[in-house]
A and B are shown apart, each in its own frame.
Chain A
């Protein structure tokens, strides 16, 4: 893809829109806008004008899960839930007071943080967005507040001044790469909610097949145009800092990845100029006036003032906003719900279905208290609000539709054989009894929670505030009446880690055929490594899964290894103990490499001394490995060199890891036994020279002897010092 192949989004189109709107008289605002929306629709569908990500335009306040789960054919009793969703997601309840019983359910979400907004958006963009959000940002959930009444132009200008004054230092970002960005955009999961590009083919799509387009509407990417590159890269790197609601979640991109995607989204971008703004020729408005209007209009209801410039000292109390009506007092056919919205009320551009849904919801709220939700209903409600369903399914609801799912790839060809399990994010069935609290934290807002490195898609972070409650709800919703019983005390005799290691190993149940561990790949497909099992899984679930994988995790390819095993309970517990102590344990057979504990004088470039039970020497053996491939072992019992050998030295596994410390063998070749000592000797120990070479000491017939081997050409030089007299011989073999 080249820049030339893309027509920039028409500047003329936008300026046309604005110029047009500014000519109209105030009373026709609504009608005019509808007409313009139509005009925009016609223009935007022209393929020559759009970025490849340009979806079908959205002309209503867009809530993804509402559009996904509701259609005009919905009966009232189903659509009413959609209405409740809209009241919460469109933040109606940030201004309209909610009856007590409905509060938890209809809790508004935090709107974008405006701290630093003046550094992210230029004044013209701010003006366009405030003046007419629906025109500047299709599908926006921000209501339009300016219908063109007397003084509106000045107010908008003052707000622009005020918001522009909120600057924030923006640190540098790396340069982005469009091609990489395009690749990332399609594979890390953006397309679960946003539109796949017309010119991007899913990895597995046959070359001649037509790529199916998503059936559900995509979330527009209008924000990308408004931000300059640096601001956009920052936003993609850390969206929650600007948009704490997590509706655009943090995709856990690196700074480079964020810049790459930003570069891709900016292909063909032309910064918009609000020519109409200049045409107004308004006198400069003050920041303070803007601040007052910000308060008056209750912008604070959504844009929490954490980073907003506080009132200037001594500026007097600013006008308080008029209190909006509580939900209970709202009429169902006025304001934004009216067929033709009257001027002077916040404009959301609700479509007919949305209006119907909200009316139903209002009627319900006005009639009765909120029903008490079960834990599962609460889980479903929050998953719907956050749109977890875009990627996950739970109890049959959700997961990406095929036209989107086809972009979810794997980066490890070995995982292909796992099919959908490798490509798609996991089901959330039973998640509440599966994962530990600590692991939920890592996944939902923390770090290092990913255990499926073969999957391209990232699990995003939604922020702690939006997800912490889910953990308790999930725990409750998924709890078994009779949880599986597992003894994880570590106290039973079979709780020895070694027993678990044997079972996991290639000669046991061969779990290592599919599961890797630590830095080791499995012997087969790269399914989840078991390294973090104990931190990650609840022990009761671990047992439930192992006893009957298919019933516990629908669709799993894990075989029922414990079917019919009499000691399944104990075996599962011993595996748990091993996994619990995995940090210092040897790996199971199959994953262990023969080189794991090998002592390598060459690699370490030093003489290595190692005492153990060594074959050919005995129980008091002291191995000495020299760089260069010569080795020897001294017997401290008879005080003599017992064997010499060439090549590899010794395997330290026995000393380092084994409970029973079995005798070890020289690893190399040409093992040469040395003659027995001819006299009684008393071992004294050894000292190390500066070169690390040991000199052994012993008494022979009351005489102090020093005995050293040094590698020389052709073998060892054997140096013996006795009574000040040195004798040397070369040992070749």
Chain B
């Protein structure tokens, strides 16, 4: 029996060691009796942690670095399904079904006494899936909200909007002078809205009709990202999106990039099941190295697999594209909202309501803390003229480099739900060369295809001190090739 027990102990510790040696997951002690479905996370200028709940409350943790005693206090309540929270210019902004609400505590008693309307005017029909996410603010102070396309049964009580709720499947922005503007379109369930280090806005969406798998999309004025239900509103005169009234159904993404007017492909595809099933919140590591060797990279929540993925982006031909990598799994349940604390740890708000996930809790709040131990990992994966350049976090032992394998595939552009990988071909890898310092591996690949995900399985690399490569899979989405 002892032997068996030891074996179990060993087995679990081995499994856990992979991840917890580098990143520790801490679980917050939450207010008793509150369904803490954490769906929005904002960090206050003094470092406190504000959490929005789906039930419509905002709580503020006075000591967010102490998960055992975070000291949560109720700040605001009575809102209608908060799915996003942000701090901007002296106030908290909570996105509800029909409004972004600016919350302020003007008498400093710890509770909001101002609930002002900061953005509203999009259509709400009462259908269950009309989620609203955000906000994010650009440098000019415009406020952006991503709106789920309408799914489910509309409600008679919604009035005119029962027939057609406006700007569903769009990102809209409220200008500083109070005008609601349509911004970009073609989203299905744009659950994540966030910014990279440069302040550009990115959106994650979720698999379904016109979405073969989770994409990460660069939201720009007038861009259109494939979900056809937002086309009718694009025909309105105030629409910045210029597309045809009808789009082809059943071609590939690679073909759509060539033939569909106005179609913008995602910067990165996160392959289905391999990288999860439903992308959610976005957070960018802006700390100078407090979260390990991935500064300025983006971290995406993953609903079904209850984890967090990592994305590296670069600009090729003036457009963002890049690679995604697995990062953390085994959270309590569906990761929904992400944000970094001042101490450099990543807070992940979680809720299983409405769908199921691998985690076994209905809701929760955890944070991911770098242990100060650097994993051997692909830090960057860049496209080169002749292939890819992998930059590692630690010098790689040349002896550990064996054969690299990989394949590339595209996805369907279709109204049907989801979609398989299409036109899969093995990558022809003709050479790989490690730099003398062991940090850079140049891989020559003769079959680069725009519109295709290029998936690599790296060998079981080791660093000079024997540390094995943490994650061996890497998925680079090539939209553009490097021009001569």
Contact = CB atoms under 8 A, between A and B. Distances in A.
B151 to A, nearest CB: 10
23 contacts: A472-B4, A490-B356, A496-B356, A497-B352, A497-B356, A584-B352, A610-B56, A618-B158, A619-B125, A619-B155, A620-B99, A652-B55, A656-B55, A660-B152, A661-B81, A661-B97, A663-B155, A683-B117, A684-B117, A685-B117, A687-B106, A687-B115, A688-B114
B96 interface: yes
Nearest to B351: A584
A603 interface: no
Contacts of B277: 491
A490 B358 contact: yes
Nearest to B358: A490
Given A615-B157, A619-B97, A608 B78 contact: yes
A608 B353 CA distance: 24
A491 B360 CA distance: 11
Contacts of B102: 685
B77 interface: yes
A613 B126 contact: yes
Contacts of A663: 126, 155, 157
B361 interface: yes
A686 interface: yes
B356 A577 contact: yes
A388 interface: no
Interface in A507-556: 534
Interface in A574-616: 577, 580-585, 608-613, 615-616
Given A585-B362, A655-B55, A663-B155, 19 more contacts: A469-B1, A489-B358, A491-B356, A496-B355, A497-B362, A581-B362, A584-B361, A610-B78, A611-B97, A619-B125, A622-B78, A652-B55, A655-B54, A655-B56, A659-B353, A685-B102, A685-B117, A690-B107, A697-B116
Contacts of B115: 685-688, 694
Contacts of B266: none
Contact of A655 (B81, B304, B356): B81
A636 interface: yes
A673 B5 CA distance: 69
A585 B356 CA distance: 13
Contacts of A697: 116
Contacts of A473: 1
Nearest to A689: B113
B357 interface: yes
A63 to B, nearest CB: 25
Interface in B118-161: 120, 124-126, 128, 152, 155, 157-159, 161
Nearest to A620: B98
B79 interface: yes
Interface in B414-431: none
B354 interface: yes
Contacts, number: 133
B362 A687 contact: no
The dominant DSSP class at the A interface is mixed
Given A577-B356, A619-B158, A685-B115, A636 B1 contact: no
A486 B77 CA distance: 41
Contacts of A489: 358
Interface residues of A, number: 52
Query: Which 6 pairs across A and B sit closest by C-beta, in order of nearness?
Result: A584-B362, A685-B116, A660-B128, A611-B80, A609-B78, A659-B354
A655 to B, nearest CB: 6
Contacts of B116: 684-687, 697
Contacts of B107: 690
Nearest to A473: B1
Interface residues of B, number: 54
Contacts of B99: 620, 636
Interface of B: 1, 4-5, 35-37, 54-56, 77-81, 96-99, 101-102, 106-107, 112-117, 120, 124-126, 128, 152, 155, 157-159, 161, 277, 304, 333, 352-363
A385 interface: no
Contacts of B35: 584, 656-657
B49 to A, nearest CB: 20
A9 interface: no
Nearest to B355: A496
Interface in A118-142: none
A688 B352 contact: no
Given A619-B97, A636-B99, A685 B114 contact: yes
B2 to A, nearest CB: 9
A617 to B, nearest CB: 8
Given A472-B1, A612-B80, A688-B113, A583 B355 contact: no
A604 to B, nearest CB: 11
Nearest to A597: B55
A495 interface: yes
Q: Which of B1, B112, B333 has the most CB of A within 10 A?
A: B1
Nearest to A622: B78
B28 to A, nearest CB: 15
B113 to A, nearest CB: 4
Contacts of B78: 608-611, 622
A661 B304 CA distance: 21
Given A469-B1, A656-B35, A660-B152, A619 B361 contact: no
Contacts of B97: 611, 619, 661
Contacts of A495: 356
A684 B101 CA distance: 10
